[in-house]
Amino acid sequence: MTDSELLQQALRGDQNALATLLQARQDKLYRTAFFYLHNQADALDVVQEVALQTMLSIHKLKHPAYFDTWLVRIALNCTFKQMRKLPAIPPTPSSQDPTSASDLHQDLQRDLAQLPRRYQEVIVLYYLHDRPLAEISAVLHLPLGTVKSRLNRGLALLRQKGAVAHGYQLGK
Amino acid sequence: MAINWENERHAFNTLPVPQARVTQRIQAGLATAKPLRRRHNVRRVLFAVALLLFVCGLTAPAALQAGGLIPAFKQILDRPATPVEKLDPTANQLLGDLADAQRYRPLNTPAQTTAGIKVQPMGTLATAGLIAVLVDYSGPNIDPDQLARNPVTVKLSTGAPVGDVEHAAGKVALGHYRQVLVFYPPVTTTANIPSFALTFQALNGTKHALTFSGLQPERFTTTQHALALTHHVSQNVTTALTQLLVTPNAFLVDYTTTFTPTALTAQQAHAYSQAAWLSDASLRVNGRQIGSLTLGLSGTKLAQTRHGDALTARFQSQFTTRYRDSAQHLRALSDAPKGATIQFTVTLPGEPGGNRQAAGTFSVPVALFLN
């Protein structure tokens, strides 16, 4: 059965069809949560919450073709919600002269988390999940121009304030 | 060294995933959705039932009272009860809150129903020179603006004439309207009016005759002070304060103008005979003004007498026993500083287009106004 057929069944309230769709995307869901939370237990909690919220709001999905983007958005919202519940962790000192890919990766994660949520959302969807701008625009209910400006503004903030200023090539 | 987003995406996509545990959590999440959904549905049904009951509860009494669902909804959309501003400033201050029926002495008069509208005089409030009557209306299609325009006549048991009757009306609850009628009986013999009759010549904009007789206003204590304060405006004109009648909420001050008409121009004689008014009363301490009294009614002419060539016109003004201080706070006269006096000014109209003329100022100790 194709994704499209499964989705139609899920939209009609079929829980098994939705379970199949979610399991096919479970890596993405888990990684999205883990990217921010850096903790398996918290990331698993988020995955469970995403499954619950998806089941409760699948009937609100307006563009079935954009199911993946819609799902990542739910995952991001649940992750942000989970982050609010957790005690604030002081940021680790930034590496002034990152010498390895691993250092820079950690810097990016930390700096991204410092951005306003509206910028994080588009950057994660576009760069990490490789979603097309038009799809992000439809799922976030934002004009395409707004999505682009948020993306540019978010990247500019990363350049100005983040440790990623060290030679990052922010083009895709 | 350069790190690009391709690398970041690759790092992201290679984060290890505990597959079995994630699958388990997805199943758990979906499993909790079912009872939650059921609970949501039960809540939705309960909310719908509660909303239905609320709407029925809201409209049923109105529908019964106001004669149907459409008038009921019309009344829901009416303006809410707010203090009225349709009487004179003093009456607004005293009686503007239509929802406050506590101020009035209850009347035991049976209600009368005309054209489906039930009219019930509720209570009266009286003080020297002022009587207010509270009337309740209930029925279909009541228009508070029409209520306020209903012609009403008042007949006092003392036989004294009553001039204008002031109206204010508004909604106090759903399908329930209220009117306050205010009139000013001139006090020539007694301030306490034994009874009066109200006749409504129209109701809600339609002609009807509806009379309530034998309405008894509340009785109040009065203290009378004779005064002999005079001011010579000219050789042929004298003004004077002759009497104070003090009651708990208001006082009346009687003043006179005495003049020889033949020694004045016709315009001047007319002013002293008809248009002398006393509407300015300031509270003073050591000559310094510290407040102003609130005026009720000014320049009611009571009588005119002749002694030889001289005419004496007698007038009356009413003030409340409260004053506004320099910060515009309303205070009782009983709170005025010791030794304070009230200064009254008798005024005449000026030449056409000109300023008013002061025809005498008179100072009276505040102690005389404390009932």
8 Å CB contact between A124 and B8:
no
Q: Does B224 touch chain A (CB under 8 A)?
A: no
**Residue B260 Cα to chain centre, angstroms:** 42
8 Å CB contact between A76 and A83:
no
Q: Does A49 touch chain B (CB under 8 A)?
A: yes
Least confident of A62-66, A86-90, B48-52, B177-181: A86-90
CA-wise closest residue to A62 among A7, A21, A133, A125? A7
Compare CB distances from B11 to A47, A50, A105 and report the shortest one's residue.
A105
Model confidence over B287-298: pLDDT tens digits? 899 999 877 777
Rounded Cα distance, B281 and A144, in Å: 72
Tell me which range, B5-19, B232-246, B294-308, is most confidently predicted by mean pLDDT.
B232-246
More confident residue, B315 or B75: B315
> What number does CATH give the domain B89-215?
2.60.40.1630
- Give B45 to chain A, closest Cα distance, Å: 17
Residues of chain A with Cβ-Cβ distance to B33 below 8 Å are 15, 51-52, 55-56
Q: Does A35 touch chain B (CB under 8 A)?
A: yes
Q: Do B30 and A168 touch (CB under 8 A)?
A: no
Quick one: average pLDDT of A81-95?
63
User: What are the angstrom distances between the C-alpha of B189 and each of A46, B37, B58?
Assistant: 89, 80, 52
pLDDT of residue A159: 75
Q: Regarding the domain delimited by A96-172, which CATH topology (the fold level of the hierarchy) does it fall under?
A: Arc Repressor Mutant, subunit A (1.10.10)
Q: Regarding the domain delimited by B223-369, which CATH topology (the fold level of the hierarchy) does it fall under?
A: Immunoglobulin-like (2.60.40)
pLDDT of residue B199: 92
More confident residue, B144 or A101: B144
Coil, strand or helix at A164 = helix
Compare CB distances from B9 to A98, A104, A127 and report the shortest one's residue.
A127
Please, which pLDDT band fits residue B92 given cuts at 50, 70 and 90? Answer: low
Model confidence over B122-142: pLDDT tens digits? 999 888 888 889 999 988 888
pTM: 0.49
CA-wise closest residue to B213 among B229, B231, B198, B232? B198
Torsion angle of the four alpha carbons B21, B26, B28, B32, in this order, in degrees rounded to the nearest 10: 160
Transcribe B235-299 into DSSP letters. Answer: TTEEEEEEEEEE-SSEEEEEEEEEE-GGGS-HHHHHIIIII-EEEEEEEEETTEEEEEEEEEEEE
Residues of chain B with Cβ-Cβ distance to A172 below 8 Å are 5
In this structure, which amino acid lies at residue A62? K
Residues of chain B with Cβ-Cβ distance to A44 below 8 Å are 18, 21-22, 25
Rounded Cα distance, A129 and B173, in Å: 60
User: What are the angstrom distances between the C-alpha of B88 and each of B29, B83, B117, B183?
Assistant: 69, 13, 28, 11
Quick one: average pLDDT of A117-124?
87
8 Å CB contact between B13 and A31:
yes
Quick one: average pLDDT of B112-123?
90
- Which segments within chain B are labelled E, that is strand? 105-106, 112-114, 117-127, 130-138, 152-156, 165-173, 176-183, 196-203, 206-215, 223-234, 237-246, 250-259, 277-285, 288-307, 310-325, 330-332, 341-348, 357-365
Quick one: average pLDDT of A105-115?
74
Q: Do A19 and B26 touch (CB under 8 A)?
A: yes
Least confident of B69-78, B109-118, B211-220, B283-292: B69-78
Coil, strand or helix at B97 = coil
Residue B149 has pLDDT above 90, yes or no: no
CB-based contacts of B246, cutoff 8 Å, min separation 6:
B128, B222, B223, B224, B225, B321, B368, B369, B370, B371
Q: Does B30 touch chain A (CB under 8 A)?
A: yes
Quick one: average pLDDT of A82-103?
55
List the beta bridge partners of residue B319.
B251, B295
Model confidence over B181-206: pLDDT tens digits? 888 887 777 788 889 999 998 888 88
pLDDT of residue B227: 93
pLDDT of residue A97: 41
Residue B77 has pLDDT above 50, yes or no: no
Neighbouring C-beta atoms of residue B100, cutoff 10 Å? 12
pLDDT of residue B121: 93
Mean pLDDT, chain A, whole residue set: 80
Q: Would you give the DSSP letter of residue A143?
A: -
Quick one: average pLDDT of B20-41?
83
Please, which pLDDT band fits residue B242 given cuts at 50, 70 and 90? Answer: very high
Architecture of domain A1-86: Orthogonal Bundle (1.10)
Q: Would you list the domain boundaries of chain A?
A: 1-86, 96-172
Please, which pLDDT band fits residue A161 given cuts at 50, 70 and 90? Answer: low
